Amino acid sequence: MQLSRRALLGATAAGLALAACGRQAQSGDLNGILERLSTDILREIPEYATSLAVSEEQAGGRYIDRLSDYSKEGALRLRGVAERALGELRALNRERLEPNDRVTYDIVATALQDSVDAARFEHGGGAQSPYVVTQLTGAYTSIPDFLASQHPVTNREQADAYLARLSAYARALDQETARIGEDAATGVIQPNFTIAGADGNGGAVAQLGTFAATAPAQTVLVTSLQSRLAGVADIADADKAALAQRAEQIVRDEVLPAYRRQIDALNAVLPRATADAGVWRLPNGADLYATALRAYTTTTMSPEELHQMGVDLIAQFTGEMDAIFRAQGMTRGTVNERINALGRRPDQIFPSTDAGREALLAMLNEQMRVITARMPEVCGVQARATLEIKRVPEYIEAGAPGGYYQVAALDGSRPGAYYINLRDPANEWPKFTLPTLTYHEGTPGHHWQLSLQQEAGEMPFIRRALLGFSGFSEGWGLYAEQLADEMGMYRNDPFGRIGYLQSMTFRASRLVVDTGIHHMRWTREQAIDSMMQATGDQRSNVTTEVERYCVWPGQACSYMAGRQALNRMRDGARAALGDRFDLRAFHDRVLTNGSTPLTVTDGLVNEWVAEVQRA
């Protein structure tokens, strides 16, 4: 858990009330601590309250017309919230808690300690996101989509609140603009290529500029409001027109000028930026990277250990791909050359047209339908939330990752969403690469895991709805890709299995590249060349990925580190239980306990093994 808006809005916040349960005093004290923590967090992060669709009572007051404080003072208040709650937790006698409450204690204490440690680095969003505004981070990357897809507009009050938030968005941009200069004064400036772009990849300035150059009436901030107002029956047409005109005025007079001020601030620090890619060059950079790695992976693995793990796995997966290619009669060239040749085949290409994108999305939806129907084979507890598959908004697609997941609203008013970047499917999404991404982001990956977490009513609310750990969640996403393979989803699709193995190689390469950039002082070009050599992926894809790792140190390591940890747990349980090992029960124990630090996950699995042995 990271006390930055990016992390909190990505369902990694701590918070909300734990239902009272009349337990012993220590458990009651724990409940009170978590209730206060929830109120403090959601009061600071009203966007998160909207995302979850919680009540005003749960959120500590009215929130629908507010945005967060994006200033440094706001960040320091969030750190104070975590520090106070952590101090209160540490004052409890953990051993006096009931067993389930000890699990909750361990999960929340780990999340808060990671947050406090990361927030010691007061620039950007802390150790895990050290720069304020990049090609991937900042209010401009999240708030427009938040307002367009999560802020409700079903009545006049909500429409007026939308306008209030629109004005608040301009203030948020200016608060971040001020922080760009404040951080630069302490020697914290992102790489020049994430500011200005390079090799055709758009940096933060280009993405901000594209939005700023849009006519106010054509921005998503106005068009989304107009489209939703059209369906509101109790607002008169004249009032709808007036609301839309007011939104256009705010965008023209407040929001777009704030965009231009942010562009000016980035351009002002650009002459002092360098091409050095890693955080090693920042003040206390080695400590920052170690802190980020620990928080993202929830392990104590060193950069050297993670790097070697990646090297070994690349060799393993490459050998498996070579065997499949040979069985299909494709023997000429290296494995990567054969991957590239496969990606150029006409039967593997979706055109970069509206029709091509629609066909691609239709294929993904069919893949979800098929595997969801088979989930009772591998999980006893079934997820209920529905899933929408959407295109990444065009105004951020230049710097956005290939795919990501947005959690569903708790009240069922908004389904889970799997976003896929369709800026250039003909060159970036060969057909054989798509199934494994869908299994990762959808089912049995993030959508399945997070839906089960939200739907586990017997679990304390703080764990069910709000806590997240990248090592677990991204590790599960990668494990889910493997699980789909084990379920036989590629039995009649050898090239789809090539896509799965290429994806695994890609995540193994992330271990090599992330540690290379931030620990071994690799250049951006060294990292791109390494990943291209390992995966055979398109240079544009690899460049976007590498530049992502430059501004999110350590996050890329959480995927494979988590997958390997889950496999070790499964292998250990299978060895201990023999014929009594039940894959469905193993998955239920892991998933119905929600996202946990991997150390806690390991303890939960060991308890399950002991229960089965006693039975």
Q: 371 with 426, same domain?
A: yes
Q: 67 with 171, same domain?
A: no
Three-state DSSP at 315 gives helix
Structural domain that includes position 557:
292-565
pLDDT exceeds 90 at position 4: no
Amino acid at 172: A
Q: 387 with 525, same domain?
A: yes
**Mean pLDDT in residue range 449-469:** 83
pLDDT of residue 212: 97
Please indicate, yes or no, if residue 284 is contained in any of the structural domains: no
- pLDDT-derived band at 20, boundaries 50, 70, 90: very low
Rounded mean pLDDT of the chain?
92
- Of the ranges 388-402, 465-479, 561-575, the best mean pLDDT one: 561-575
**Mean pLDDT in residue range 345-359:** 96
Please indicate, yes or no, if residue 401 is contained in any of the structural domains: yes
Q: 425 with 444, same domain?
A: yes
Give tens-digit pLDDT for 224-277.
Answer: 999 999 999 999 999 999 999 999 999 999 999 999 999 999 999 999 999 999
Q: 259 with 329, same domain?
A: no
Q: 21 with 73, same domain?
A: yes
The CA-based dihedral angle spanning residues 66, 174, 130, 7, taken in that order and rounded to the nearest 10 degrees? 20
Instruction: Give the contacts of 229 (CB within 8 A, at least 6 positions apart).
Output: 153, 159, 235, 240, 243, 244
pLDDT of residue 26: 61
Please indicate, yes or no, if residue 303 is contained in any of the structural domains: yes
For a pLDDT cut of 70, what percent of the chain falls above it? 95
Please indicate, yes or no, if residue 78 is contained in any of the structural domains: yes
Please indicate, yes or no, if residue 478 is contained in any of the structural domains: yes
pLDDT exceeds 90 at position 519: yes
**Mean pLDDT in residue range 60-75:** 97
Residue at a domain's end among 276, 305, 335: 276
**Mean pLDDT in residue range 284-298:** 97
Q: What per-residue string of b and e applies to 121-155 under the rule 16 or more CB within 10 Å gives b?
A: bebbbbbbbbbbbbbbbbbbbbbbbbbbbbbbbee
- pLDDT-derived band at 24, boundaries 50, 70, 90: very low
pLDDT of residue 27: 58
Q: 72 with 98, same domain?
A: yes
pLDDT exceeds 50 at position 215: yes
Domains in the chain: how many in total?
3
pLDDT of residue 39: 87
Give tens-digit pLDDT for 397-435.
Answer: 876 778 889 888 888 888 999 999 999 999 999 999 999
Please indicate, yes or no, if residue 596 is contained in any of the structural domains: no
Q: 23 with 44, same domain?
A: yes
Burial of 232 (0-12, 13-18, 19+ CB in 10 A): middle
Q: 139 with 47, same domain?
A: no
Q: 388 with 494, same domain?
A: yes
Burial of 526 (0-12, 13-18, 19+ CB in 10 A): middle
- Of the ranges 3-17, 461-475, 553-567, the best mean pLDDT one: 553-567
Please indicate, yes or no, if residue 578 is contained in any of the structural domains: no
pLDDT of residue 461: 73
Please indicate, yes or no, if residue 99 is contained in any of the structural domains: yes
Give tens-digit pLDDT for 140-151.
Answer: 999 999 999 999
**Mean pLDDT in residue range 458-485:** 89
Lowest mean pLDDT among 238-247, 306-315, 390-399: 390-399
Give tens-digit pLDDT for 545-588.
Answer: 999 999 999 999 999 999 999 999 999 999 999 999 999 999 99
Q: 148 with 174, same domain?
A: yes
Q: What share of the chain is helix, strand, coil (3-state, %, to 5)?
A: 65, 5, 30
pLDDT of residue 28: 65
pLDDT exceeds 60 at position 203: yes
pLDDT exceeds 70 at position 388: yes
